[in-house]
Amino acid sequence: RIVQSAQGGEYRMCWSAGRFFSQHMPEDFTVDFGALMVMGPGPFNQSRTCISGQVCEWHGLTGFGLQNGDRVMIMDECGRFRIPQYNYMHDEDIIPRFPAHGKSTDATQNGTSFRWGDVVTVAYITSQGGAYRLCWASRLFAGHGAEHFRIDAGTFFLVGPAPLYQHRTCVAGQICEWQGLSGHFLADGDVIMVLDT
């Protein structure tokens, strides 16, 4: 079995007699015998941006045959499946501190709108800033594990500090000033508040 990974769209199915032709070139397949509809996103270079510390919601994923209930999972690599015997901390290639392990809620608006997090349940994205992958799965498989999110629809940019273990030291009674906060798409005007927890 071969996992189909073409972008969503309508394709033609073309036949060739294997015992008479090499079957290496498109011109060897001259008999058009029907259509193959591939449900999924397309093109594969779509990109979206969200901000760490916030609920993330975006609209306008394009493709063919998209449906409500489809999902997108934010991952480092689409379709990657890590198993415990190889000493990984998680059984899936998830991004730490992402609501629902990176899986969006069910798509709405005919499979084009996605959301992570919820203000009511105080579920915000608090992952480190970076560039991740938008991994798509049909509603038929979206309730399953990360291995079903095989289709890489594009890049997901998360604005925020990275890494999340940066440390600084200040002296009580003195002005506290430092430089060099690293992250992804940080900008003038960003603000830091120091809290106990």
What is the C-alpha to C-alpha distance for residues 113 and 41, in angstroms, rounded to an integer? Answer: 12
Tell me what pLDDT residue 138 has.
Answer: 93
> What's residue 41's pLDDT?
95
Other Cβ atoms closer than 10 A to 147: 15
Residue 176 exposed, middle or buried by CB count within 10 Å (0-12, 13-18, 19+): exposed
Q: CB–CB of 177/120 below 8 Å?
A: no
pLDDT number for residue 130: 94
Q: How far apart are CA 74 and CA 48, in angstroms?
A: 11
pLDDT of residue 109: 96
Mapped onto helix, strand or coil, the DSSP state of residue 85 is helix
pLDDT of residue 90: 47
**Angle at Cα 49 formed by Cα 45 and Cα 55, nearest 5°?**
135
Indicate whether 128 pLDDT > 70: yes
What are 32's strand-pairing partners?
14
Q: Tell me the whole-structure pTM to 2 decimals.
A: 0.82
DSSP-based three-state secondary structure for 75 = strand
Token pair listed for 134: 């938008």
The pLDDT, as a whole number, for residue 82 is: 55
Q: What is the mean pLDDT of residues 57-75?
A: 94
